[in-house]
Amino acid sequence: MKDTFKHQGMRQQLVETLINKGIKDKGVLKAIGKIPRHLFMDSGFIDHAYQDKAFPIAADQTISQPYTVAFQSELLQIEPGHKVLEIGTGSGYQTAVLLELGARVYSIERQQELFKKTSKFLPKIGYRAKSLIFGDGYKGMPVEAPFQSIIVTAGAPFVPNPLLSQLAIGGRLVIPVGDDVQVMTLFIRKGPKDFEKHEFGDFRFVPMLEDKN
């Protein structure tokens, strides 16, 4: 599969759409302008890759809407070299955005099929995460903690304590919290037991599930 001028043109239009919707972070916009999102999609949806919409991927999951990816990425305030944990690798698109921002990325996926597919695919197009694992995101990745940022890309019914405790002081957790609709929530760790909480309106995600298959 190729990245053509047509794709690049559509990608620039998508970037314009995101700017019009309020995304400001230059690094995030640049990453979205660069990453060939069509390569992350199942073949039936490739023609729609640069619409600002979520689409189905394998295992009944979805590649998040570009606006949502941009919004979450902007909230993380990533700087080059930051150690970042992602829960819900999925297609790997958000992983690629984090890598473009210069993060060292650790990512967890609980669907075996997606884990296998994306672990093969990402390096093929030049994106190398520090670690992609098949596991349960509710537990985080204690061996690699602390993280400057943690991003959850599935709807969490509650905020898992392990994720809060694996944040570095000054670190940021961005997590959509809720059952049918999720409130985008940012926690900033101010001290060992001190967390600041901010809420940013409603989003819709596939659910964060507890049992591995």
Binding site for ligand SAH (CB under 6 A): 61-64, 87-88, 90-91, 93-94, 108-111, 114, 136-138, 153-154, 206, 208-209
Cβ distance to ligand SAH smaller for residue 15 or 35 = 35
Cβ-contact 136, 210 below 8 angstroms? yes
CA–CA distance, 83 with 183 (Å, rounded to integer) = 25
3-state secondary structure labels for all residues of 96-110:
HHHHHCCCEEEEEEC
Instruction: Kindly state the smallest distance separating residue 193's Cβ from ligand SAH, in Å.
Output: 25
Cβ distance to ligand SAH smaller for residue 66 or 171 = 66
Whether 149 is catalytic: no
Instruction: Kindly state the smallest distance separating residue 82's Cβ from ligand SAH, in Å.
Output: 17
CA–CA distance, 154 with 206 (Å, rounded to integer) = 5
Instruction: Kindly state the smallest distance separating residue 143's Cβ from ligand SAH, in Å.
Output: 16
Cβ distance to ligand SAH smaller for residue 167 or 175 = 175
Instruction: Kindly state the smallest distance separating residue 140's Cβ from ligand SAH, in Å.
Output: 10
Question: Which are the contacts of 81, defined by CB distance < 8 A and separation ≥ 6?
Answer: 102, 103, 104
Q: Which residues of 14-40 are buried (b: 16+ CB within 10 A; e: fewer)?
A: bbebbeeeebebebbbebbeebbbbbb
Cβ distance to ligand SAH smaller for residue 112 or 196 = 112
Amino acid at 186: L
Catalytic hit among 64, 73, 107, 149: 64
Catalytic residues: 64
